[in-house]
Amino acid sequence: MSFQPFGYKFEIQSPVSREILTSRIRARKKGWFHPKTGARGWIVGPFICLWFSAFDRHGPMVVGALSDDGLTCRVKGRAGSNLNGVMMFALMLPFLVWLVWMSASEGDPAAGRLALIVAIFVLLSPLIFWLAHSDRKDAEPLVRFLRDVASEGSTSPRPRPQRIPLPENLVLRISGDLAPPPLNTDVIYEALLETGTDEFIVLERSAERYLQTASRGGKFTIEMRDGDYLHHYQALRTNRTQNKRRKMNFDFSFEETLDTVLAYVTGNELPKLIAWEKMDMAAPTAD
């Protein structure tokens, strides 16, 4: 795996022209100051910049360009965590070093203190770049958004699930907030599509019967409760590994999680890649 402090590359192809794709992105993205998380940003000419939150200036971001051959359009760019902050830091370092050199060459008495400050920045730079690298997949919801818009109306690579009404007793909670009824599979698809790191959705049939999924680093974990605290399970892969990266057994892609969630809410058979491992939950305390 290459070191990617400035985000990872992505490329998305759409069967429509740049003009149509641009209008679709503008129609579906949120306003800059929309209180909910989700894709928002600007498109100027062929250039696009999207970010995830109205309040987190150092959160996930994608930057890229749209190229057009008249019939189809490609979106190429980079996606990562705090791309603007990391870029500014990388540009600032050589400027600070130059500033120290100029101060020292002119005999400035403050050159020593300035050199100490710059040395601290330089020593911290590996940690800053490593954190940006390790969190780069936090931008995956933005790439998913672009991929979903780009494939709108097409049959590949994966069509959007057909809208199906759901039982009235089913409740959807998005990071704790109750989604307004009526629910259908399209609402659940959009909720999962926009789920970012440390966010979650819960699908409740009753207080003791529900399925929940949380996102971290572009992947999802899935849990199911089917009764009291003795019947709480975590999903893991049937083709699981026993190596040191055992955590991957509990990580699922967006598509795998979507299949599981839709199967649960429609009462269909769960995907065969899913197995369930019982979790040790604390017994509820008496009030």
Q: Confidence class of residue 156 from pLDDT cuts 50, 70 and 90? A: low
Give exposure, 68-78, as e/b (b: 16+ Cβ within 10 Å). beeeebbbebb
Across residues 91-114, what is the average pLDDT?
A: 80
Q: Where are the beta strands (DSSP E) in 2-98?
A: 8-14, 40-44, 47-51, 60-68, 73-81
Taking the C-alpha atoms of residue 211 and residue 260, their distance in angstroms, rounded to an integer, is: 10
- Evaluate if residue 48 carries a pLDDT over 70: yes
What confidence score (pLDDT) does residue 43 get?
96
Across residues 145-169, what is the average pLDDT?
A: 81
Q: How many CA atoms lie within 13 A of 92 on its CB side?
A: 12
What confidence score (pLDDT) does residue 69 get?
81
What confidence score (pLDDT) does residue 114 get?
78
Across residues 258-269, what is the average pLDDT?
A: 92
Amino acid letter, 175? S
Q: Confidence class of residue 155 from pLDDT cuts 50, 70 and 90? A: low
Q: Where are the domains of the chain?
A: 8-82+135-144, 85-132, 163-278
- Evaluate if residue 193 carries a pLDDT over 90: yes
